[in-house]
Amino acid sequence: MPITRWSSRSAATGRRRFAAGSAPVDGCRCAEAVGRGPAGGAPRAALAALALLLLAAGCAGQRGGSGFGPMVRVCDESGCRDQPKAAIQPAAGEDPRTVRQQDPDAYRGEPVAALRQAAAEGDAGAAYRLGQAYEAGAGGLPRDARQAARLYAQAAEAGMPFASLRLGRLTEQGQAPGGLGRAIALYRAAAEGGVAQAAHQLGVLALDGRGLPRDPAEAAGWFRRAAEGGVPESQYNLALMLFRGEGVARQPYEAIQWMRRAGDQGVVPAQLALGRLYMTGLEEQGQDMQEAQSWLSRAAAAGDAEARRLLPGVTQAAQAERSSWQAAQRAYALQAAATHSYWWGAPYWPLLLLTPRFVAM
């Protein structure tokens, strides 16, 4: 199987695609855990997001074809299936805020012996993909964070921004030398190279005051940059900051727009926050039981206990006759203070996990 060589030209293309909001998607996506729910001891179980951790080995024995034809094999928790490549490519002109950025140099199941040889000959792309295989324990390799970090460093020194991102995360976790200062420098290099997830990491560190002076304004700037690049966790954080006026001028209406984008990309706390918002109304936003039902249904389907508790009453109110509906609206409006407290008290989304995505050819 041929090894795709990485070059500075391909990096520039990747950055241009990121700026245009059309990063490529390819192959068999078996494992990606980019984040966990809000940390910090949420006051209720409903605030905890559910992280989907899929095993990279799930597609190891189910690869089909070379990966260069019109069909690709896409795998998720329900199994693997062949799909036309066109079906998983972002549409031309698609809003970049609605699509999570993809790594154009993700490991695609190439034989690790070929990758090792190419990396030894100085191929940065091969080193980066081999590093992902080591980090994920894919391709028959054992999980080895130290080997992954060494290979990521080789690729990062060659200017590969996603390698800087992954090396930064290993360094921040203490699995590579250099400490938090080096991790921040690597995140900055990745962000300057157009990697939206790196901007999220910097936003979290600036907001928490970890390795950086605590600066909500700087954090909001990083979150906005990542949110514009399609990172839903940053969209959620930016929405909370805009609603609270933390580090930015208070803009409740814009906060709702970002919260909707995060909810549309599957951030469960955002779906619950929107469901409560439309259920009770809040400040300039009036009640809308149909919208409340829609958002709570999505959160409930994802397993959120609070959404499941609220959904039956909201569904009944949304389907009731006008007289009953108005009475239900008045009853829910009395709970607006609780919704206000919810939006003010929800914890911010933490650092992304950045577990490597496995893409089989």
The per-residue pLDDT for range 285-297, each reduced to its tens digit, is 888 999 999 999 9
Q: What is the DSSP letter of 69?
A: S
Q: What is the DSSP letter of 44?
A: S
Would the pLDDT of 242 be above 80? yes
Instruction: Judge whether 8-190+353-360 and 195-265 match in fold.
Output: yes
**% of the chain beyond a pLDDT of 70:** 70
Residue 326 has a pLDDT of 72
Extract the runs of DSSP E, i.e. beta strands, from 47-195: 71-76, 79-84
Residue of 154, 191, 153 lying closest to 171 (CA atoms): 153
In residues, how long is the chain?
A: 361
pTM across the whole model: 0.71
Which helix (DSSP H) or strand (DSSP E) does residue 360 occupy?
Answer: strand 359-360
Place 321 in a pLDDT band, splitting at 50, 70 and 90. Answer: low
**% of the chain beyond a pLDDT of 90:** 56
In the chain, domain spans: 8-190+353-360, 195-265
Would the pLDDT of 241 be above 80? yes
Would the pLDDT of 1 be above 80? no
What architecture does CATH give domain 8-190+353-360? Answer: Alpha Horseshoe (1.25)
Instruction: State the amino acid at position 278 in one-letter form.
Output: Y
Q: What is the DSSP letter of 194?
A: T
112 or 99: which leads in pLDDT: 112
Q: How far is 88 from 322, CA to CA, in rounded Å?
A: 43
Within 121-178, residue ranges assigned H as helices are 124-136, 145-157, 161-172
**Span 84-113, mean pLDDT?**
69
Q: How far is 162 from 144, CA to CA, in rounded Å?
A: 19
Q: Which two tokens stand for residue 206?
A: 């600036």
Place 353 in a pLDDT band, splitting at 50, 70 and 90. Answer: confident
> Is the Cβ–Cβ distance between 80 and 59 less than 8 Å?
yes
Residue 59 has a pLDDT of 34
Sign of the CA dihedral running 342, 344, 345, 351: positive
Q: Which two tokens stand for residue 276?
A: 């409560």
> Is the Cβ–Cβ distance between 133 and 115 less than 8 Å?
yes
Mean pLDDT of all residues belonging to the chain: 77
Residue 349 has a pLDDT of 87
Per-residue pLDDT of 328-352, as tens digits, reads 777 777 788 888 888 888 889 888 8
Q: What is the DSSP letter of 58?
A: G
Residue 342 has a pLDDT of 81
Q: How far is 148 from 137, CA to CA, in rounded Å?
A: 10
The yes/no answer on whether domain 195-265 falls in CATH 3.90.1150.10 is: no
Q: Max CA-CA distance within the chain?
A: 76
